[in-house]
Amino acid sequence: MGNRGNVTTNSSGKQNDAKIEDLNTQLLEMKLTLEGMEKERDFYFGKLRDIEVLCQDITQEDNPIIQKILAKLYATEDGFAAPDDVEGVPPPEEEEY
């Protein structure tokens, strides 16, 4: 009778080990995905920052295209705080829905 209890415990232990191994594999995959997404985010942030600097360096303040680009760069969505006022950049126009 004692052997029967050990078989059940041993079987559930193997199942738990398999589950732990599966979860560790999932965790590793998620970490790799996150790392890739962070690199992509940083890449595009750098691009946008370069565009922002180029737009700010242009001395034609009346250039409507530059103003539209800057307005898009500084536009926010609900739940996100707007950045502090940046010198030389007009606040974005309010969008109506």
For the stretch 36-85, pLDDT in tens is 999 999 999 999 999 999 888 886 667 888 888 888 888 888 777 655 65
Both 95 and 63 in a single domain? yes
Both 32 and 67 in a single domain? no
CB 89 within 8 A of CB 74: yes
d(CA 12, CA 16): 6
Both 62 and 92 in a single domain? yes
Alpha helices, DSSP H, located in 58-88: 64-74
pTM: predicted TM-score of the whole model, two decimal places: 0.56
In a domain, 80, yes or no: yes
CB 92 within 8 A of CB 71: yes
Both 36 and 62 in a single domain? no
In a domain, 26, yes or no: yes
As for how many domains the chain has, the answer is 2
CA distances from 46 to 22, 39, 51 (A): 36, 11, 9
Q: What is the pLDDT of residue 97?
A: 42
In a domain, 47, yes or no: no
Both 7 and 35 in a single domain? yes
Given a cut of 60, is residue 95 above it in pLDDT? no
- Residues spanned by the domain of 17: 2-41
